[in-house]
Structure 1
Amino acid sequence: MRWSTVKGCICLLLGLLMLTGCVKKENPPNPAEKPMEKGIQDVSRYFPVESQLTWDYEGEGNEYAGFTRRVMHTQGNKAQVSEDNGGTVLGMVFEVTSSQVVKTYTKEEFYSDKNLLEEKPNLEEVILKAPLKVGATWKNERDQREVVSTSERVEVPGGTFHNVVKIKITSLEHPPEEGRQFEYYAENTGLILREFTVGEDKITSQLKSLKKTEARPQTQKDTLSIEGMQQEVVLHLVEGAPLPFYTYAPSDMMVERTASGEGEAFRFVANFAGKKRDDAYMSLFFYPQGTSVEEAVKFASGMILSNRWQKVGRYNNPDTEKSYPWSESEWQFMDKVNNQSYVGNIAVGKHGDRVFHIINHYPEDFAEGFVPRTGKILEKFTWTDTGEQLNKT
């Protein structure tokens, strides 16, 4: 090979090496140099408040950990929500926008369907705040909230949820060792899990179901057989929410709702021709969650004794014909006060994990008008969680 040829090859090789040395080497992008994620901008997707939505939560670790939430009223970006844990009912108002969810009003021992949306705010507690991204924090008067994850996978009785937002709640009134709390929110579902831990003890509330019920008509027309004659009557809707029932009552039966730590009661009181008779009523009473049928039977029997009513019959075996197909135990009774004779009955029943009793009490000469009316109330009585009618269970 001639020297000129070798020289040319060497020059070409050196040129290629120089060219290669001038190319900039591409390094993998540094995660620290990535632009900050924007996070979730619309928090309303994680707190739905459509009218008639109902959430049922299964509790563990405490008798009041299970509860039911229901949207009672809505107006604009406001929603009234009731929360019933079996011991008390809480009425709450939320303002929901894309940027934040704020609880603006709360009322304890709230056993009514009254609209609270126009009540003057009595607090400002931010539940969720945009953007929802890991590390985001905000403070309320009593707690601080921090987004610790937006990609949780959570299994609860109501299903498996992905990309769940996990919120850590730290009390500003108590030291951390007194407990840790987390809430988990899923898109288009809302709160699916609440955890509270103290030492080795853990209390959880897990979503069991989310349902939307159709709005029911406020009135219905029907007929009653009174003294052998068919009479047309107007029935008015009675909502039991957050208890899982509704029924319809004749317009001349007043409805009174009361509650205490011992339970919740609905009284249907005769108001014939505009004259209220407190001695003619049907009472529907729900015992606190955890009450057994045996405890309710004992309590109901004690009521008969304390009122000095005279028992005249009792269902206590499967071969005895019952007045109510759903009753676990029932009695008939009679009474006499100031020459006025009274008759009635009391029956104990159970639906799901709630025990209840129904009492009918009325003057004997009211029977032909009173019994058809209370019979219609029980005929229309429907459990909202199963869709079953009481008298057909």
Structure 2
Amino acid sequence: MKKWSLLIVLLLSACQLETEETRQPVEPSTPVTEEQQPDTNEPSTPAEEETVVDLHDYFLPNQSSAQFEGMGNEYATFTLKTQHLYEDYVGTYEDNGGTVMQRIYRIEDERIVMILEEAEAYDADFPPLSELEALPEIETYLSLPIEEGTEFNGWTITAIDQTIDTPLQTFDHVFVLSQEGADQSVVERYFAEGFGEIKRVFRMPGGEGEEYEVTSTIASLE
């Protein structure tokens, strides 16, 4: 009997010990501080938007006729007719009362090149596409990027985001191409998106500090 009583006591002690071990308090996890929490309110950085320039926008509209008002020379006044020949070819006729100048341009990804320039083009017509594709370039007319300091073919972009008043309208975001000659003369071309060339200026130093200037400015568009 004493043997069985001792066995029961030992079993009860073992069960009590196991219960106490399983009931050991669990230490709480380390709380996440405010500094460790992810900042869900932090705005994401937007991807930089790349400005895409379509050089087709630097010509007057198809089948348009623009009148340029001249000052300083009788041939500074002229009519400019523009025709978009094919997807990447534009032709112009410039009539200043003394002669008619025909020009054809090819539009590439990064520049515009002139591929034909012909004076006395009174009865000239525009060649077919197969002939235009075979014409070599004469010179670069305009090149990207449109930013100050860009240089090509002796021209330099000397100003951007200019505001220019003309008889047609006020143009914003105009950029200026400049070329300086060996005789200290300066030629400037002013370009506006959606119109192309809207103004030309020619300056030549004169005697006694004077300056000779000829300007052609867009005045009407049909």
TM above 0.5, one fold?
A: yes
- The one-letter code matched in structure 2 to 1:101 is I
CA distance in 1, matches of 2:88, 2:121: 22
Identify if the C-alpha distance between structure 1 residues 154 and 76 changes in structure 2 by more than 3 Å, giving closer, same or farther.
same
Q: Which runs of 5+ in 1 are unaligned?
A: 1-37, 212-393
Match of 2:78 in 1: 67
Within-5 A mapping of 1:229-268:
none
Q: Tell me the CA shift for residue 105 of structure 1.
A: 0.6
CA distance in 1, matches of 2:77, 2:51: 29
Contact kept, 8 Å, 2:61 with 2:195, in 1: the verdict is: no
Aligned residue for 2:174, secondary structure, equals strand
CA distance in 2, matches of 1:46, 1:128: 12
CA distance in 2, matches of 1:135, 1:45: 22
Larger fraction in strand: 1
Deviations 1:322-350 (A, max 9, x none): xxxxxxxxxxxxxxxxxxxxxxxxxxxxx
Match of 1:78 in 2: 89
2:147 is the alignment partner of 1:147? no
CA distance in 2, matches of 1:164, 1:158: 15
Match of 2:208 in 1: none
**Percentage identity across aligned positions?**
25
Identify if the C-alpha distance between structure 1 residues 133 and 64 changes in structure 2 by more than 3 Å, giving closer, same or farther.
same
Match of 2:221 in 1: 210
CA distance in 2, matches of 1:147, 1:99: 15
Deviations 1:277-323 (A, max 9, x none): xxxxxxxxxxxxxxxxxxxxxxxxxxxxxxxxxxxxxxxxxxxxxxx
Identify if the C-alpha distance between structure 1 residues 150 and 98 changes in structure 2 by more than 3 Å, giving closer, same or farther.
farther
2:202 is the alignment partner of 1:191? no
2:98 is the alignment partner of 1:92? no
Aligned residue for 2:55, secondary structure, equals helix
Identify if the C-alpha distance between structure 1 residues 155 and 194 changes in structure 2 by more than 3 Å, giving closer, same or farther.
same
Contact kept, 8 Å, 1:70 with 1:83, in 2: the verdict is: yes
Which structure ranks higher in relative contact order (CA pairs < 8 Å, sequence separation ≥ 6)? Answer: 2
Match of 1:130 in 2: 144
Identify if the C-alpha distance between structure 1 residues 206 and 116 changes in structure 2 by more than 3 Å, giving closer, same or farther.
same
Aligned residue for 2:172, secondary structure, equals strand
- The one-letter code matched in structure 2 to 1:180 is V
CA distance in 1, matches of 2:91, 2:199: 21
Within-5 A mapping of 1:100-139:
100-117=111-128, 118-119=131-132, 120-121=134-135, 123-139=137-153
Q: Tell me the CA shift for residue 124 of structure 1.
A: 2.2
CA distance in 1, matches of 2:107, 2:90: 8
2:168 is the alignment partner of 1:158? yes
Match of 2:14 in 1: none
Deviations 1:173-229 (A, max 9, x none): xx142x111100011011111000011110000001122xxxxxxxxxxxxxxxxxx
CA distance in 2, matches of 1:41, 1:180: 30
Identify if the C-alpha distance between structure 1 residues 64 and 122 changes in structure 2 by more than 3 Å, giving closer, same or farther.
farther
Q: Tell me the CA shift for residue 70 of structure 1.
A: 0.8
TM-score (norm 2): 0.68
Q: Tell me the CA shift for residue 99 of structure 1.
A: 1.8
**Count of matched residue pairs:** 166
Match of 2:8 in 1: none
Contact kept, 8 Å, 1:58 with 1:206, in 2: the verdict is: yes
User: Whose radius of gyration is greater, 1 or 2?
Assistant: 2
Q: Tell me the CA shift for residue 41 of structure 1.
A: 4.7
Match of 2:40 in 1: none
Match of 2:178 in 1: 168
Identify if the C-alpha distance between structure 1 residues 125 and 41 changes in structure 2 by more than 3 Å, giving closer, same or farther.
farther
Contact kept, 8 Å, 1:193 with 1:204, in 2: the verdict is: yes
- The one-letter code matched in structure 2 to 1:169 is Q
- The one-letter code matched in structure 2 to 1:158 is L
Identify if the C-alpha distance between structure 1 residues 64 and 39 changes in structure 2 by more than 3 Å, giving closer, same or farther.
farther
Q: Which runs of 5+ in 2 are unaligned?
A: 1-48, 206-210
TM-score (norm 1): 0.40
Identify if the C-alpha distance between structure 1 residues 210 and 149 changes in structure 2 by more than 3 Å, giving closer, same or farther.
same
